[in-house]
Structure 1
Amino acid sequence: MNTPHFAPISLIHQLGAVGGFLLQLVLLAFVYYVVTVIEKRRHGKLISAKIENKNGWKAIYKGPWSLLVGALLLAVMNALVLMINGKPWGITSAFALWGAKFVQLFGVDPTEWAYWQDPAKLKALKSPLYQDTTTVMDISLMFGALLAAAFAGRYAKPIQWKRPSRMTIGALIGGLMMGYGTRLAFGCNIGAYFSGIASFSVHGWIWFVFAFLGSIIGVKLRPYCAYKN
């Protein structure tokens, strides 16, 4: 796509593997320090991240898992995806593919659109969905989430079908903005942020800064959409 952009910057290419890794650690330590200071000022102390386990060994499938276990599993799975798929973990590129496949059913030809001029994307568009790795992972992720919720007994609670109109409108607007933004940024909080930082790309840190600022604005807007902070 012919959009404004800077040349890619890799910390490994610029500083070497050791230098890039050390800079990542420094940046992560700085983020930890800043959020720690903010939390102490707001709450007077650090809120414990320890999660009480009332399920014993059943926590393996019922939860909750500790933040450390979750972080380690995410890191390992992302590394496996990189080794098997040849590229970092992504999510939202499949949504664009699904949308393009859908409009093709009505005679629309998305191959003329700028987004699909990339050879890899065009190949995915012309291939069956089951051959798209991201599609397979996304569907597996959704089924896995449903299965995990079932094991945890989440479906025992009644579903609230009636919601305030402004909550629905806010969710729709937010979803559209997120979807449009992920295509402009070529990734969401997984592909652009998590995988970006994990692959030592500067764009992941830039995404983090602006997503953090956007989250602050979003939290302040939540009450207007009938959400509680």
Structure 2
Amino acid sequence: MKRIENILGFILIAFLLTAGQVIFKGNFFRIFIGLGFGYTLTRGYMGFAGSVNRVCRTGSTKLTKVLVVALITMIFFGMGVFIGLPWAKSYSWINNSLIKVGDRNGVFMPDLFKFDGLNGYLGATLLTAAFVGLVFFFANKFEAKRKKEGRNPGVDSEILQESVVKENKGLYDILFVKPWSLTTGAAVIVALFAILTGVTGNGWGASTIHGFWFGNILTTFGASADALAEYTGSSAKFFNGFLVHPVGFQNFGIILGTLIYLLTAGIFKSTFLSEIKIKPKEILIFAIGGLAMGIGTRLSNGCNVGALYTPIANFSLSGWIFFIFLFAGGILGNKIRGGKKINCVN
């Protein structure tokens, strides 16, 4: 069965490379870059990877439940994004920065170092490096403290990943199956991000399109695309097809990239052979969580890629502010849980 999956994976790759430019026309690059993101997020244990590779190495098939949970969460995430789409255009406190430098709506860090002889980019780079250094310093201090106290058992997926990365396998496994280390995955993501920015002139964004996709679900059940466009302040064309917006093609590419890894690694079938047991209470929690995340992206003008990674890469102070509150929210969420064991979904 694995051999069949491998063949199907390479057929899909060949099909996309040969017919993709005709089918997707001007959006082939978005599909291509999405494929890269999806493949890397999966193989580098950054997306579904923790559960995907757990299937291959331990026989555990928790990903099916993860995907069902993801589907529930993403539907309500899209609902939250859709609800909040008009807010940025309606409320200045969302779209206007409290801190401004010069004529900019926010803080572009090179503006703080115009004296450095490189239009501020040297100073901005050094400041970014300092911020990164502080994050590493405090993260390592905290981890060391928890280990010393015996309260750091480790993350299952990371422990598994480290052990698998060190294994010696055949050539095919090394090329197409063996998971990438977090360092390798991060390096590939950085390269893809740089290519995306260089070609399109824009950073990585993902969340807004989910609001458009939710709107397309509504039109499927009879809602008017014009009415949705009037509510959101967006073009009606975005509610007349799931693959209309360039980022929609990119997100679709991410899905295809994940599929390609599952097939070429020969773990597609085994990944989905699992009994699904989800309690009604869990469904409610995931729905509320997805809705809250979707609304949150509209309040922050982006998700973790659009409001965190992209602004930081573009020397915007807003990305670091987002990081602080994102981290604080994670701590608060765990405090609210009261120290109960949390089954993490990768």
State which structure, 1 or 2, has the greater radius of gyration over its C-alpha atoms.
Answer: 2
The alpha carbon displacement at 1:150 in A equals: 3.8
Of 270, 279, 282, the residue aligned with 1:156 is 270
State the Cα deviation string for residues 86-145 of structure 1 (Å, max 9, x = none).
2101111111222233434412512323x42xxxx5386378654422001100101211
1:39 to 1:226, Cα distance in 2 relative to 1, 3 A: closer
1:107-118 → structure 2 map (5 Å cutoff): 107=224, 109-113=227-231, 115-116=232-233
1:219 to 1:63, Cα distance in 2 relative to 1, 3 A: farther
The alpha carbon displacement at 1:72 in A equals: 0.8
What letter matches 1:144 in structure 2? Answer: G
2:133 maps to 29
Q: Is structure 2 residue 300 aligned with structure 1 residue 189? A: no
| Partners of 1:65 and 1:219 in 2: CA distance | 29
1:12-161 → structure 2 map (5 Å cutoff): 12-15=110-113, 16-44=120-148, 51-52=162-163, 53=165, 54=167, 56=169, 57=171, 58-104=173-219, 105-107=222-224, 109-113=227-231, 115-116=232-233, 121-122=234-235, 125=238, 129-152=242-265, 153=267, 155-157=269-271, 158-161=273-276
| Partners of 1:30 and 1:223 in 2: CA distance | 28
Q: Is structure 2 residue 122 aligned with structure 1 residue 11? A: no
1:2 maps to 90
Structure 1 unaligned runs (5+)? none
Query: Which is bigger in relative contact order (C-alpha 8 A, separation at least 6)?
Result: 2
What letter matches 2:179 in structure 1? Answer: P
8 Å contact kept, 1:91–1:190: yes
The alpha carbon displacement at 1:40 in A equals: 0.6
8 Å contact kept, 1:55–1:62: no
Matched residues, percent identical? 24
The alpha carbon displacement at 1:2 in A equals: 3.1
Aligned partner of residue 9 in structure 1, secondary structure: coil
| Partners of 1:125 and 1:225 in 2: CA distance | 42
Number of aligned residue pairs: 224
2:22 maps to none
TM-score, normalization: structure 1? 0.84
What letter matches 1:51 in structure 2? Answer: E
| Partners of 1:128 and 1:90 in 2: CA distance | 19
1:35 to 1:99, Cα distance in 2 relative to 1, 3 A: same
| Partners of 1:129 and 1:192 in 2: CA distance | 23
8 Å contact kept, 1:24–1:200: yes
TM-score, normalization: structure 2? 0.58
1:189-208 → structure 2 map (5 Å cutoff): 189-208=304-323
8 Å contact kept, 1:166–1:226: no
| Partners of 1:128 and 1:171 in 2: CA distance | 27
1:8 to 1:155, Cα distance in 2 relative to 1, 3 A: farther
8 Å contact kept, 1:167–1:225: no
| Partners of 1:134 and 1:124 in 2: CA distance | 14
The alpha carbon displacement at 1:167 in A equals: 1.9
2:293 maps to 178
8 Å contact kept, 1:89–1:190: yes
Aligned partner of residue 162 in structure 2, secondary structure: coil
What letter matches 2:289 in structure 1? Answer: G
